[in-house]
Amino acid sequence: MRLTGFEGRCALVTGAAGGIGQVMVKLLREAGARVMATDTRAAVEGLAPEEDDGLLWRVLDVRDPAAVTARVAEAEAAFGPLALGVHAAAVLSTAPLLECPAEDWQRVMEINAGGSFFVAQAMGRAMRGHGAGAIVVISSNAGGIPRAGMGGYPASKAAATMMTRCLGLELAPHGVRCNVLAPGSTLTPMQTGMWADDQGASRVIAGDAGAYKTGIPLGKLATPEDIARSAMFLLSDEAGHVTMADLYVDGGATLRG
């Protein structure tokens, strides 16, 4: 089955310089969408991406609601009504809650929870005006299960998840679909940055009973392509009756769907 609903449509991607975000931009362009790709200044400058007639790269701080709204307007001015939105921007926090500095908590909540709200709100407002659209927020399977030693990150992802589902309820009468994609451990710099040695992948796959963390039944980590392809389905016309879903793509790690 070939996914449809992308040709000539305007899409906006946040966190586009990251592992999942880069693949999202690639797949959207290959499907015929016209894409505004956004990320932090350091990420965009470090990537040194190329542009074409259907791809623009822009700097965006998702914590700034005015900047988010301006980027949505700019994308529409360049490519027409916003039809597809992917919010992949996020940061990690691995501090135990009792030792978590206030500034670390604030940062992860401002970016992962607050940024998700500002981005989804701006996208949703634009799509509501057009009477159609699809938004996918990249959350985490950690948003649905307690994690030892990194409480701030799951809390921020749980907030982003419920916000997206509530927004989906508000926007459903306007023909706009809002879905959550909850990846598990994925081969991105965010994941590998937590590993102390070359046995990191093996440990994640095996799980850690001492930390109350299950392993991965499929016996492998996800690739960014695994996650991005799932997001493409949620954006596509083939998912036209899917909204407010929370799709776990984690190889069975959380023992739920």
Q: Render the burial of 2-34: b for 16+ CB within 10 Å, e for the rest.
A: eeebbeebbbbbbbbbbbbbbbbbbbbbebebb
Between these two residues, 198 and 165, which has the higher pLDDT value? 165
Q: Which of the pair, 191 or 81, is modelled with greater confidence?
A: 81
Q: Give the residue-averaged pLDDT of 92-100.
A: 94
Single out the residue of 141, 169, 113 nearest to residue 246, CA to CA: 141
pLDDT, one tens digit per residue, over 127-166 is: 999 999 999 999 999 999 999 999 999 999 999 999 999 9
Region 88-102: what's the mean pLDDT?
Answer: 95
pLDDT band at residue 44 using 50, 70 and 90 as cut-offs: very high
pLDDT band at 87 (very low <50, low <70, confident <90, very high): very high
Whole-angstrom distance, CA of residue 49 vs CA of residue 104: 30
Say what the pLDDT of residue 224 is.
96
pLDDT at 186: 84
Establish whether 153 is a catalytic residue. Answer: yes
The domain locations on the chain are 10-249
Of the listed 153, 177, 231, 250, which one is catalytic?
Answer: 153
**Average pLDDT over the chain, rounded to an integer:** 94
Instruction: Decide if pLDDT at 195 tops 60.
Output: no
Give the architecture (CATH level 2) of 10-249.
3-Layer(aba) Sandwich (3.40)
Tell me: the pLDDT tens digits for 33-43? 999 999 999 99
Neighbours of 220 (CB within 10 A): 14
